[in-house]
Amino acid sequence: MSILFDEENRLFYIHTAGTSYCMQISAAGYLCHAYWGARIRELHPSDAIEKRMRALSPNTDPNDLDFSLDTAPLEYPAYGSSDFRTPAFEVQFADGSTVCCPKVKSHRMIKGKPPLAGLPATYCEDESEAETLEITLEDTVGGLEITLCYTAFPGYDAIVRSARLKNTGKNEIRIMRALSMSADIRCGGFELLQLSGAWARERQIVRRPLVPGMQSVESRRGASSAQQNPFLALLSPHSGEEHGEVYGVSLVYSGSFLAGAEVDQFDRVRVFIGVNPFDFSWLLQPGENFQCPETVLVYSGAGLGKMSRTFHRFYRERLCRGAYRDRERPVVLNNWEATHFSFDAHTIETLAAAAGELGAELFVLDDGWFGERNDESSSLGDWFVNRRKLPDGLNKLAAQVNASGTAFGLWVEPEMVSRDSALYRAHPDWCLHVEGRDRTESRRQLVLDLCRSEVRGEIERMLTELLQSANIRYVKWDMNRNITEAGSTALAPECQREVSHRYMLGLYELLDRLTRKFPQVLFEGCAAGGGRFDPGILCYMPQIWTSDNTDAAERLKIQYGTSIVYPPCAMTAHVSEVPNQQTNRSVPLETRAYAAMMANFGLELDPLRLSGEEREAVKRMVADCKSIRRLVQFGDLFRLKSPFEGNDAAFLYASPDRLEAVAAYFRLLATANAPEVFLRFAGLNPDARYEETVNGGAYYGDELLHSGLPVRLYGGDFQCRFWHFRAAR
């Protein structure tokens, strides 16, 4: 049993293999947070919640001056009574009041994990994998019920949490804020880690000490965004990759979010995450429910690396789904950086033939194949082939590409519309907008109103027709702008603040329908690169274009940061030409290739512009990638050196039985007369004897772990070294 209720002491225990999460119902019926951390047998019941009278802290019960909502560790804190910290939710009742005091009404335990209505979610394949606890809180005066759901995945060491609000009264309730989780945990003095950045510089690691008061990250862009990621971690001071305590909180959502940590007056940390309350409200009619997205909680007592590996396995196996979930991902050649918008059928066929010769398994035709699309200014929404460029249509082209030995894939950007398009001319009101106001363009495009079912229906119809029109085995689903003028003609004036969230619900419905309809198609998420790299998208598309920045030196940082939460098989990484189109930097081909091999390898160059020697080298690298990709995509990642901390980066991927591993070391800038570098490995079996097959040699695991190997690089900037270890089975 991973979930227990100690009735006498009113204590809930949720256990996974290495974690316990405990709550206690206070004497007055409030749900209090009692513990989250390394697995324990039990909590001493009288010590679980502090009982002590504190100056200036109000008391809800005049007969119990030792209890105050101001100081109690709470589990889903309300707004309006005597807790002055950040609330998890806030509602306004029909009388205008915002005071709400929910107390525990009931609880039940369920085998397995129920699905989450309309939202992406983790799942179990068999009921025995998970257990769910539902605790219902009730505010009797206002007629509001809140059901908190906790699912323990003991074998994955993860706990999944969400909240559902129900209007049980006779009048409507306006939800002003409904976060997915909140917990008051004991980790004062810890540090906060966030993944922040910008377009082409996504998910950079930022770590800072927690200080009293509020620290938070958020997106207000209608997408999880390149600027912030719906994740945060709290780390014990000096913790590193393999040591120290880490609490990771990740939101399964792709829209605007808020994540934060508020350090209170007694050094408790209120950690929370959910849909961003900024420009959000939701009218809940009597009898209706509002379901918050779910959050995945991972505790590690052995550093950030263990937290990441826990997220990786869980997201890989119990969030991603479909035919490609467990399959090695094909080597792609994408034509975007080779041609941009200017190509014709001959160019594409020649590129595809060259891609096949290099060993690529999938050729992807990127932007520019449809409508009158010759630059960014037109045709989004017109998902029919441009006959001037591709006179024989997609079916013939796909057949031609297939004949050269590669599968055929296609780029689309279905959530968008260009003003200059047949779709916009026919339906100018189908984009998000506010009547009488300018429609702000970004990349010359507008956002379709996915709150409207007829808009979703038409997108589904067009894409269905498209995907049935040719042998298309892959779709790159792009999204190149954020939401502005978030207004929908489908919604009443009092519901306009629901638009951003309803947009996401509409998107999820569309993705769900299309991915079910085309189970054999590999869908790859993209949002001007990594502008929507989040668990919500991964639920429908098992891989995401990590960044538009293909410069290997900068990619190392982006991939390193992304790997804090997301598994390598989710990150696509392509070798592109030099000088690099984003940075103008020239990194040697071998280093570009190994950097791409650290994730889901592909090519984004014109093979015809390679010299004969380079072509042979790329062929070898494609073959090398195929020989190690199972290990990289589905093995355990150990980050050995952080590019955020120095002039180098190193990664190791080990098989679950630790009998095989590959590792790569990357040095950025060369230094004259540099000190010797020794690289210590991790994740190996100290007692195993490994053959190293790239450079030659045999080593015991203990030497590799504790002494390490020298890395001698003489060739200038951006050099790398690669090892492949194998021990006898």
**Residues classed as catalytic:** 478, 548
Contact between 363 and ligand DGJ (CB under 6 A)? Answer: no
Of 620, 602, 632, which Cα lies nearest the Cα of 331?
602
Tokens describing residue 239:
């913790």
Using the minimum distance from each CB to ligand DGJ, give the nearer residue, 336 or 690: 336
Tokens describing residue 454:
């007829």
CA distances (Å), 267 to each of 184, 221, 443, 464, 645, in order?
10, 32, 46, 55, 29
Q: How far is the CB of 426 from ligand DGJ (least distance, A)?
A: 23
Q: What angle do CA 312, 522, 307 make, to 5 degrees?
A: 5
Stretch that binds ligand DGJ, among 147-155, 523-531, 594-602, 685-693 (CB under 6 A): 523-531
Contact between 420 and ligand DGJ (CB under 6 A)? Answer: no
The residue type found at 622 is: V
Contact between 366 and ligand DGJ (CB under 6 A)? Answer: yes
Q: How far is the CB of 367 from ligand DGJ (least distance, A)?
A: 3
The span from the CA of 100 to the CA of 131, in Å, is: 30
DSSP 411-465: EE-TTEEESBSHHHHH-GGGBS--TTS----BTTEEEB-TTSHHHHHHHHHHHHH
Cα distance between the two ends of the chain: 35
Using the minimum distance from each CB to ligand DGJ, give the nearer residue, 406 or 418: 418
Contact between 529 and ligand DGJ (CB under 6 A)? Answer: yes
CA distances (Å), 107 to each of 127, 132, 682, in order?
19, 11, 43
Binds ligand DGJ by CB under 6 A, chosen from 526, 539, 556, 595: 526
Q: How far is the CB of 150 from ligand DGJ (least distance, A)?
A: 37
Contacts of 478 (CB under 8 A, 6+ apart): 367, 411, 412, 413, 526, 527, 528
Residue number, nearest CB to ligand DGJ = 367
Q: How far is the CB of 316 from ligand DGJ (least distance, A)?
A: 23
Using the minimum distance from each CB to ligand DGJ, give the nearer residue, 370 or 545: 545
Contact between 559 and ligand DGJ (CB under 6 A)? Answer: no
CA distances (Å), 278 to each of 102, 254, 451, 497, 500, in order?
23, 15, 19, 9, 10
The span from the CA of 522 to the CA of 571, in Å, is: 14
Stretch that binds ligand DGJ, among 398-406, 432-440, 524-532, 576-584 (CB under 6 A): 524-532
Contact between 123 and ligand DGJ (CB under 6 A)? Answer: no
User: Residue 682: enclosing H or E segment and its boundaries?
Assistant: none
Q: How far is the CB of 487 from ligand DGJ (least distance, A)?
A: 26
Stretch that binds ligand DGJ, among 123-131, 522-530, 557-565, 684-692 (CB under 6 A): 522-530
CA distances (Å), 310 to each of 305, 307, 454, in order?
9, 5, 40
Contact between 545 and ligand DGJ (CB under 6 A)? Answer: yes
Using the minimum distance from each CB to ligand DGJ, give the nearer residue, 339 or 471: 339
Q: How far is the CB of 256 from ligand DGJ (least distance, A)?
A: 21
Using the minimum distance from each CB to ligand DGJ, give the nearer residue, 147 or 334: 334
Binds ligand DGJ by CB under 6 A, chosen from 36, 314, 370, 411: 411
Contact between 548 and ligand DGJ (CB under 6 A)? Answer: yes
Q: How far is the CB of 621 from ligand DGJ (least distance, A)?
A: 21
Q: How far is the CB of 431 from ligand DGJ (least distance, A)?
A: 19
Contact between 138 and ligand DGJ (CB under 6 A)? Answer: no
- Is the alpha carbon torsion for 272, 273, 279, 280 positive or negative? negative
Contact between 649 and ligand DGJ (CB under 6 A)? Answer: no
Strand partners, 298: 248
Using the minimum distance from each CB to ligand DGJ, give the nearer residue, 336 or 634: 336
Q: How far is the CB of 572 from ligand DGJ (least distance, A)?
A: 10
Stretch that binds ligand DGJ, among 39-47, 177-185, 526-534, 675-683 (CB under 6 A): 526-534
DSSP 571-629: EEEEEE-SS-TTT-----HHHHHHHHHTSEEEEES-GGGS-HHHHHHHHHHHHHHHHHH
Of 424, 485, 501, 420, which Cα lies nearest the Cα of 455?
424
Using the minimum distance from each CB to ligand DGJ, give the nearer residue, 32 or 364: 364
Q: How far is the CB of 199 from ligand DGJ (least distance, A)?
A: 9
Q: What is the 3-state secondary structure (H, E, C) of 691-718?
A: EECCCCCEEEHHHHHHHCEEECCCCCCC
643 three-class SS: coil
x/- contact string, 289-328, with ligand DGJ (CB under 6 A)? Answer: ----------------------------------------
Contact between 480 and ligand DGJ (CB under 6 A)? Answer: yes
Q: How far is the CB of 337 from ligand DGJ (least distance, A)?
A: 8
Using the minimum distance from each CB to ligand DGJ, give the nearer residue, 225 or 295: 225
Using the minimum distance from each CB to ligand DGJ, give the nearer residue, 169 or 525: 525
* Residues 639/241, Cβ–Cβ less than 8 Å: yes
Of 291, 230, 233, which Cα lies nearest the Cα of 536?
230
The 3-state DSSP composition of the chain as helix, strand, coil percent (nearest 5) reads 20, 30, 45
Using the minimum distance from each CB to ligand DGJ, give the nearer residue, 71 or 418: 418
The span from the CA of 628 to the CA of 240, in Å, is: 27
Q: How far is the CB of 280 from ligand DGJ (least distance, A)?
A: 28
Total residues contacting ligand DGJ by CB under 6 A comes to 11
The span from the CA of 218 to the CA of 216, in Å, is: 7
Contacts of 106 (CB under 8 A, 6+ apart): 135, 136
Using the minimum distance from each CB to ligand DGJ, give the nearer residue, 450 or 526: 526
Contact between 199 and ligand DGJ (CB under 6 A)? Answer: no
Contact between 336 and ligand DGJ (CB under 6 A)? Answer: yes
The span from the CA of 20 to the CA of 30, in Å, is: 20
Tokens describing residue 198:
């910008």
The residue type found at 308 is: S
Contact between 367 and ligand DGJ (CB under 6 A)? Answer: yes
Using the minimum distance from each CB to ligand DGJ, give the nearer residue, 524 or 624: 524
Contact between 565 and ligand DGJ (CB under 6 A)? Answer: no
Of 639, 680, 665, which Cα lies nearest the Cα of 205?
639
Q: How far is the CB of 494 from ligand DGJ (least distance, A)?
A: 37
Binds ligand DGJ by CB under 6 A, chosen from 129, 478, 606, 624: 478
Binds ligand DGJ by CB under 6 A, chosen from 432, 528, 587, 688: 528
DSSP 52-87: ---TT---SSTT-TT--TTTS-BSSPBSSSS--S--
Do you find a cis peptide bond into 579, omega within 30 degrees of 0? yes
Stretch that binds ligand DGJ, among 396-404, 525-533, 660-668, 710-718 (CB under 6 A): 525-533
Contact between 379 and ligand DGJ (CB under 6 A)? Answer: no
Using the minimum distance from each CB to ligand DGJ, give the nearer residue, 260 or 607: 607
The residue type found at 690 is: Y
x/- contact string, 95-114, with ligand DGJ (CB under 6 A)? Answer: --------------------
Q: Which residues are near ligand DGJ by CB under 6 A?
A: 336, 366-367, 411, 478, 480, 526, 528-529, 545, 548
